Chains A and B, each alone.
Chain A
Amino acid sequence: MAKTIAQEFKKGLWDEIPPFRLVLGLCPVLAVTTTVENGIGMGLATTFVLVCANMLVSLLRNVIPPKIRVPCFIIIIATFVILVELLMQAFAYGLFLNLGIFIPLIVVNCVVLGRAEAFASKNKFLPSLADGLGIGIGFTLSLGVLGAVRESLGNGTLFDYPVFGPNFQPFEFMVQAPGAFVALGLLLCIMNILGKK
Chain B
Amino acid sequence: MGDLIVLIISSIFINNIILAQYLGACPFVGTSKKMETAIGMAGAVVFVLTMAGTITWIINTHFLVRLDIQFLRTIAFIMVIASLVQFVEMFLKKSIPSLYAGLGIFLPLITTNCAVMGVCLLNVQNELTFLNAILTSVAYALGFGVALILFAGIRERVNLGRTPGPLKDTSIALVTAGMLAMAFVGFRGMV
Interface residues of A, Cβ cutoff 8 Å to B: 23-27, 29-31, 70-71, 74-75, 78-79, 81-82, 85-86, 101, 104-105, 107-110, 113, 176-182, 184-186, 188-190, 192-193, 196
Contacts and interface: CB of A to CB of B under 8 A. Distances in A.
A14 to B, nearest CB: 16
Contacts of B185: 176-178
A101 B122 contact: yes
Contact of A108 (B73, B108, B112): B112
Contacts, number: 129
Nearest to A89: B71
* Chief secondary structure at chain A's binding surface: helix
Contact of B22 (A180, A182, A189, A192): A180
A30 B179 contact: no
17 contacts: A24-B26, A30-B25, A74-B111, A82-B75, A85-B71, A105-B118, A107-B74, A177-B19, A177-B20, A178-B179, A178-B182, A180-B178, A182-B175, A182-B178, A185-B178, A186-B175, A192-B171
B173 A105 contact: no
A78 B181 CA distance: 31
Interface residues of B, number: 48
A110 B26 contact: yes
B111 A26 contact: no
